[in-house]
């Protein structure tokens, strides 16, 4: 087509009215002239008129052809069909509302899910050139990564020319004073290059300069935007202020821009200045981030680090031979495997809901298509091509789906708002969930996709059916092929729902197993909180030990307190690796988790002693070093060291020192064995744990655990006072009941269960609507037949049972299909299930039972309607 014609066609669109009038006039003139000639040839007026028309051919067809050749007919039709579509929707508002509502649910759930997937998995990290940001680890074994030591980090930084910047960090926890109540703040001590790694420029002021991590530098901090807002009311003169952290004044030098760092655990960043005792080759304490130089590949950087390791091996006796260095892209690290899997399973579930939505909407439109087949047949007879009819149906569905998509966006954004607070904890701090152009594009794509899927079936059906037959069927309702297709769609819906309901039930079964999980401790009426002793006020182990003893005495004196204990780690919370015991005569030390507790700990949590003795008040600093071990370690010692009865035996124990880094190995006597308490969430076996008297190896970070007579939260003010009496500047942090701690540990498993449960419910609901629609239409169509049967003496009971049988046939076929689908699909959930097989018979049976019940319920209303068919009225109406 020439450009000229294309333009003319577009122009024709605008001149449609006048072109149409011209055409009409032209055709009329033509007919008149033809008639005139025919009269002149001697035909009668009537014959002349007929001859003129015959010679002309189909007038409406010619007009349609004229329209098609003069203007971009598809575009014109689209506009017209869009109008038809709107008219059609307005004619049947209740159906339209149902379709849009169903679509809004289905699309909305998908939009919400997509924005999560997008934020967590698809979007690049919100830093410049994020692919160049990596984490660098030591790797003692394949798949295990470890923090590194100061000298190693310095070697890496000196020799690692592949990196533009390499920075080390450690989390710190400080007490902020001078801003009202003393507050605990989490932050990070970082080397000066830290913000160069993330290529972050501050909103206000500056970040660290090269010399700020050298000894003697001024104490400076950079604040996150959120901290600046929350603690300093976004004061504009913030850079002129100093803040007191652990009693030491720090100059505020910069505020970061709002964004990813606000959701990091850290509220502030201060310089990490290495003290001489931190240069130990055996103290693995630093996390390392790096930014790879432009033009250097990840592989090259990795190779360089490995060669650095090889060259350092003689200098560094602490490096074991098979240790290596791992360089991993940051993006991959932020999303754990389990989170990724949960997200995929949830996305799969929400996609099934979308399929069911499609099926349901297709079903509703089919029902409408059936009612409209006569309209279609008439239009076809008047010259509309089959393509036009399909296009019209497509555009109608498109209008519906676009409305549904818009409503879906609204539903999606509500869902996101509702879910974000619950999700915030488990998604990486760099991800921000929300509606952006990518989510809009996704919603549009889904709406279009649904429109195509949803309209393809009814459209083919409506326009393919023989036109003549549709016209002839006028008094009998629609043809049977509609019905077959609709039944098939409902069967598929039932099948998809079975898959979802099965998945949800498996997760709930797993959840109930988790609820019964034996934690090994008493949880009721226990409250916990954390304390951190600043090094400045508690420079020695003696001071710390004295504080803990004083605290224990004061807390026990508070009315309502039954027991109280102190520990470095809460029960049910992970204890990090790193310490080990050495057994005389055994080469390989046994790895253990190291937990410091005071004499009250086991009593406060009701952990029973199995052998030997408890930790007592007499186990103080300077006394004979003792420890209590858990059952898991006892059996490990029996296995590795042949220690049948560990109580009374002595082993070498690596123990961290007070404040200073590094560990010392000391001879420690095993005083007793306790029953294992659960250390982490489900799925991991009990690790070997040593319990060391807190008084013998004091530390700065401590948890207070208090068991009370009644509701423990009422005692929090009393506990605060007790702490304040000992140290005015010491804040209590992380107040949580043991119940809450337990929830937190288990919540990873709980979230997908509720999510998929909700999807399954939506799916079952949609399926019920679909089933109801089909059965109810079947009853309407068979009204005449039912009427005759009733008139011939059939019992209403028979009619009801026939309709219900009909429902059951549909459901049973769906159940069979769904069971196969569920067997295939629930396997991907294996890692999310706790002590439940993906083929759990209980879940499958209940799912099948549920869907059968849904089927019968959906069939019941049409069935009872059928039973109340009045033979006389029916036969008269239709006869």
Partner 1 sequence: MDDMSKQKAEVPYGTLDLLLLKSLETMGRMHGYALARRIEQVCGDSMQLSQGSVYPALIRLQQEGWIETDWGISETNRKVKFYSLTTSGRKQLLVELANWERATALVARFLEASS
Interface residues with partner 1 (CB under 8 A) are 2, 4-5, 8-9, 12, 22-23, 25-30, 32-34, 36-37, 55-59, 61-62, 65-66, 68-70
State whether the Cα torsion 155-160-161-166 is positive or negative. Answer: negative
CB nearer to partner 1: give 55 or 873.
Answer: 55
Least Å distance, CB 56 to partner 1, is 5
Output DSSP code: residue 530: E
State the chain's maximal CA–CA distance in angstroms: 137
Among 58, 53, 60, CA closest to 35? 53
Least Å distance, CB 463 to partner 1, is 22
CB nearer to partner 1: give 34 or 533.
Answer: 34
CB nearer to partner 1: give 66 or 123.
Answer: 66
Least Å distance, CB 473 to partner 1, is 24
Least Å distance, CB 386 to partner 1, is 19
Q: Where are the beta strands (DSSP E) in 467-546?
A: 526-532
Q: Are the C-beta atoms of residues 833 and 508 closer than 8 Å to each other?
A: no
How far is the C-alpha of 439 from the C-alpha of 435, rounded, in Å? 6
Q: Are the C-beta atoms of residues 357 and 454 closer than 8 Å to each other?
A: no
Least Å distance, CB 764 to partner 1, is 54
How far is the C-alpha of 365 from the C-alpha of 374, rounded, in Å? 15
- Measured CA to CA in angstroms, residue 251 lies from 136, 247, 564 at distances of 30, 13, 39
Residues 6+ positions from 660 with CB-CB distance below 8 Å:
277
Half-sphere exposure of 787 (CA within 13 A, CB side): 16
Least Å distance, CB 17 to partner 1, is 15
Residues 6+ positions from 41 with CB-CB distance below 8 Å:
none
Tokens of 651: 């082993």
Least Å distance, CB 458 to partner 1, is 31
Residues 6+ positions from 877 with CB-CB distance below 8 Å:
none
Least Å distance, CB 781 to partner 1, is 35
DSSP three-state, residue 559: coil
Question: What DSSP string runs through 847-868?
Answer: HHHHHHHHHHHHHHHHHHHHHT
CB nearer to partner 1: give 34 or 730.
Answer: 34
CB nearer to partner 1: give 22 or 701.
Answer: 22
Question: What DSSP string runs through 673-691?
Answer: EEPPPP-SSTTSPPPPEEE
CB nearer to partner 1: give 466 or 714.
Answer: 466
Least Å distance, CB 49 to partner 1, is 14
CB nearer to partner 1: give 10 or 842.
Answer: 10
How far is the C-alpha of 658 from the C-alpha of 668, rounded, in Å? 17
How far is the C-alpha of 644 from the C-alpha of 635, rounded, in Å? 8
CB nearer to partner 1: give 2 or 475.
Answer: 2
How far is the C-alpha of 103 from the C-alpha of 221, rounded, in Å? 51
Kind of pairing between the strands at 163-177 and 248-255? unpaired
Residue 383 burial (CB count, 10 A)? 15
Q: What is the CA radius of gyration of the chain?
A: 38
CB nearer to partner 1: give 72 or 560.
Answer: 72
CB nearer to partner 1: give 12 or 697.
Answer: 12
Least Å distance, CB 384 to partner 1, is 16
Residues 6+ positions from 422 with CB-CB distance below 8 Å:
751
- Measured CA to CA in angstroms, residue 534 lies from 252, 539, 714 at distances of 20, 8, 28
| SS3 per-residue string spanning 335-390 | CCHHHHHHHHHHHHHHHHHHHHHHHHHHHHHHHHHHHHHHHHHHHHHCCCCHHHHH
Among 683, 675, 589, 677, CA closest to 640? 589
Q: Are the C-beta atoms of residues 616 and 695 closer than 8 Å to each other?
A: no
Least Å distance, CB 18 to partner 1, is 12
Least Å distance, CB 8 to partner 1, is 4
Least Å distance, CB 6 to partner 1, is 9
Least Å distance, CB 16 to partner 1, is 13
CB nearer to partner 1: give 4 or 797.
Answer: 4
Q: Where are the beta strands (DSSP E) in 657-784?
A: 663-674, 689-693, 701-708, 733-737
Least Å distance, CB 57 to partner 1, is 3
CB nearer to partner 1: give 31 or 203.
Answer: 31
CB nearer to partner 1: give 22 or 218.
Answer: 22
Among 442, 452, 356, CA closest to 396? 452
How far is the C-alpha of 663 from the C-alpha of 579, rounded, in Å? 8
CB nearer to partner 1: give 50 or 483.
Answer: 50
Least Å distance, CB 26 to partner 1, is 5
Tokens of 558: 């508070």
CB nearer to partner 1: give 72 or 733.
Answer: 72
How far is the C-alpha of 126 from the C-alpha of 137, rounded, in Å? 23
Least Å distance, CB 12 to partner 1, is 7
How far is the C-alpha of 451 from the C-alpha of 444, rounded, in Å? 10
Question: What DSSP string runs through 605-656?
Answer: HTPPEEEE----TT--TTSPPEEEEEHHHHHHHHHHH--S--TT-EEEEEEE
CB nearer to partner 1: give 28 or 275.
Answer: 28
CB nearer to partner 1: give 39 or 788.
Answer: 39
Give the residues across from 169 on adjacent strands: 190, 287
CB nearer to partner 1: give 39 or 791.
Answer: 39
Least Å distance, CB 468 to partner 1, is 15
């Amino acid at each position: 087509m020439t450009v000229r014609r294309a333009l003319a066609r577009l122009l024709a669109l605008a001149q449609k009215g006048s072109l149409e009038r011209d055409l009409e006039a032209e055709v009329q003139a033509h007919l008149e002239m033809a008639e005139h000639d025919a009269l002149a040839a001697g035909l009668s007026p009537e014959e002349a008129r007929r001859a003129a028309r015959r010679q002309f051919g189909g007038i409406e067809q010619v007009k349609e052809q004229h329209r098609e050749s003069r203007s971009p007919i598809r575009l014109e039709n689209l506009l017209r069909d869009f109008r038809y579509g709107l008219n059609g929707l307005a004619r049947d508002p209740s159906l339209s509302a149902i379709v849009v509502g169903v679509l809004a649910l289905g699309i909305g759930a998908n939009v919400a899910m997509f924005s999560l997937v997008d934020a967590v998995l698809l979007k690049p990290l919100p830093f410049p050139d994020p692919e160049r940001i990596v984490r660098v680890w030591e790797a003692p074994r394949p798949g295990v990564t470890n923090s590194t030591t100061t000298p190693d980090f310095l070697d890496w930084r000196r020799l690692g020319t592949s990196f533009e910047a390499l920075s080390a960090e450690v989390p710190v926890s400080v007490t902020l004073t001078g801003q009202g109540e003393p507050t605990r703040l989490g932050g990070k001590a970082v080397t000066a290059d830290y913000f160069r790694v993330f290529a972050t420029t501050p909103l206000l002021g500056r970040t660290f300069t090269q010399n700020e991590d050298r000894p003697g530098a001024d104490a400076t901090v950079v604040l996150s935007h959120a901290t600046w807002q929350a603690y300093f009311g976004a004061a504009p003169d913030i850079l002129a202020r100093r803040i007191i952290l652990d009693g030491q004044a720090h100059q505020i030098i910069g505020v970061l821009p709002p964004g990813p760092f606000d959701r990091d655990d850290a509220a502030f960043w201060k310089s990490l200045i290495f003290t001489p005792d931190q240069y130990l080759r055996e103290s693995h304490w630093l996390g390392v981030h790096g930014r790879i130089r432009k033009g250097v590949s990840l592989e090259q950087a990795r190779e360089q680090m490995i060669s650095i390791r090889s060259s350092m091996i003689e200098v560094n006796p602490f490096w074991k031979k098979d240790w290596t260095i791992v360089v991993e892209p940051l993006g991959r690290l932020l999303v754990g495997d389990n989170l990724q899997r949960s997200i995929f399973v949830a996305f799969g579930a929400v996609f099934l809901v979308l399929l069911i939505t499609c099926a349901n909407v297709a079903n509703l439109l089919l029902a409408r298509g059936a009612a409209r087949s006569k309209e279609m047949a008439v239009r076809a007879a008047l010259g509309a091509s089959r393509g036009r009819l399909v296009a019209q149906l497509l555009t109608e569905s498109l209008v519906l789906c676009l409305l549904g998509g818009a409503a879906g966006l609204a539903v999606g954004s509500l869902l996101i708002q509702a879910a974000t607070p619950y999700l915030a904890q488990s998604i990486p701090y760099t991800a921000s969930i929300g509606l952006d152009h990518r989510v809009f594009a996704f919603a549009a794509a889904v709406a279009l996709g649904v429109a195509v899927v949803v309209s393809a079936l009814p459209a083919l059906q409506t326009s393919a059916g023989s036109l003549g037959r549709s016209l002839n069927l006028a008094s009998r309702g629609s043809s049977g092929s509609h019905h077959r297709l609709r039944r098939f769609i409902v069967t598929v819906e039932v099948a998809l729902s079975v898959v979802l309901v099965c998945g949800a039930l498996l997760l709930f079964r797993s959840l109930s197993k988790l609820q019964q999980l034996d934690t090994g401790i008493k949880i009721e009426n226990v409250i916990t909180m954390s304390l951190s002793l600043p090094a400045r006020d508690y420079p020695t182990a003696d001071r710390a030990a004295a504080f803990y003893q004083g605290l224990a005495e004061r807390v026990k004196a508070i009315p309502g307190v039954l027991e109280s204990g102190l520990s470095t780690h809460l029960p049910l919370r992970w204890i990090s690796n790193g310490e080990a015991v050495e057994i005389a005569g055994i080469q390989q030390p046994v790895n253990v988790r190291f937990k410091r507790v005071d004499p009250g700990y086991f009593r406060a949590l009701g952990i029973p002693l199995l052998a030997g003795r408890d930790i007592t008040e007499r186990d103080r600093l300077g006394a004979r070093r003792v420890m209590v071990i858990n059952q898991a370690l006892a059996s490990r010692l029996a296995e590795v060291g042949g220690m049948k009865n560990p109580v009374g035996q002595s082993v070498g124990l690596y123990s961290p020192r007070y404040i200073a880094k590094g560990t010392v190995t000391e001879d420690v006597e095993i005083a007793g064995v306790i029953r294992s308490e659960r250390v982490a969430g489900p799925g991991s076996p009990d690790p070997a744990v040593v319990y060391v008297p807190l008084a013998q190896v004091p530390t700065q970070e401590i948890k207070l655990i208090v068991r009370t007579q009644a509701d423990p939260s009422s005692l929090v003010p009393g506990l605060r006072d007790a702490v304040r009496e000992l140290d005015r500047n010491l804040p209590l942090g992380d107040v949580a009941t043991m119940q809450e701690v337990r929830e937190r540990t288990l919540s990873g498993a709980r979230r997908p269960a509720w999510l998929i449960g909700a999807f399954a419910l939506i799916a079952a609901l949609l399926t019920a609507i679909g089933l109801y629609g089909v059965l109810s239409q079947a009853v309407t169509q068979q009204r005449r037949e039912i009427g005759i049967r009733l008139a011939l003496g059939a019992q209403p009971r028979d009619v009801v049972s026939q309709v219900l049988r009909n429902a059951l046939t549909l459901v049973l076929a769906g159940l069979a299909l769904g069971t196969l689908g569920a067997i295939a699909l629930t396997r991907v959930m294996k890692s999310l299930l706790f002590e439940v097989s993906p083929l759990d018979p209980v879940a499958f049976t209940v799912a099948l039972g549920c869907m059968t019940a849904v089927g019968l319920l959906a069939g019941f209303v049409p069935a009872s309607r059928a039973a109340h068919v009045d033979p006389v009225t029916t036969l008269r109406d239709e006869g």
